Amino acid sequence: MKILVINSGSSSIKYQLFDLARRVVLASGLVERIGESAGRVRHTVVATGAEQVLNRPIVDHRDGLRRMADLLLAANSGVIATPGEIAAIGHRVVHGGEQFSQPTVITEAVKATIRDLSPFAPLHNPANLQGIDVAEEIFPEATQVAVFDTAFHQTMPAMAYRYAVPNDLYAKHGIRVYGFHGTSHWYVSKRAAAYLDASAESLNLITAHLGNGASITAVQGGMSVDTSMGFSPLDGLIMGTRSGDLDPAVVFYLSERLGMSLADIDKLLNKQSGLLGLTGANDLRDIEARAQHGDNAAQLALEMYAYRIRKYIGAYMAALGRVDALVFTAGVGENSVTVRRMVCEPLSYLGIVLDEALNRAGGSGMVTAIHSAESRVQILIIPTNEELEIAEQTAALLTAGTVS
Q: Who's near 259: CB < 8 A, 6+ residues apart?
A: none
**Catalytic residue (one of 60, 116, 149, 197):** 149
Residue closer to ligand ADP, measured from CB, 217 or 335: 335
Q: What DSSP character marks residue 287?
A: H
Cβ proximity of 239 and 245 under 8 Å: no
Residue nearest to ligand ADP (CB): 331
Q: Who's near 111: CB < 8 A, 6+ residues apart?
A: 129, 132, 133
Residue closer to ligand ADP, measured from CB, 80 or 147: 147
Q: What DSSP character marks residue 350?
A: G
Shortest Cβ distance from residue 93 to ligand ADP (Å)? Answer: 17
Is 149 among the catalytic positions? yes
**CA gap 126, 128 in Å, rounded:** 5
Shortest Cβ distance from residue 386 to ligand ADP (Å)? Answer: 8
Q: Who's near 337: CB < 8 A, 6+ residues apart?
A: 359, 360, 362, 363
N-term to C-term CA, the chain: 17
**Amino acid type, 168:** D
Please give the residue ranges that form the binding site for ligand ADP (CB under 6 A): 211-213, 240, 283-285, 288, 330-332, 335-336
The sign of the dihedral angle between the CA atoms of 21, 24, 27, 31 is positive
**CA gap 95, 187 in Å, rounded:** 18
Shortest Cβ distance from residue 103 to ligand ADP (Å)? Answer: 20
Residue closer to ligand ADP, measured from CB, 135 or 330: 330
Residue closer to ligand ADP, measured from CB, 220 or 384: 384
Shortest Cβ distance from residue 166 to ligand ADP (Å)? Answer: 34
Residue closer to ligand ADP, measured from CB, 182 or 222: 182
Shortest Cβ distance from residue 360 to ligand ADP (Å)? Answer: 12
Positions marked active-site: 149
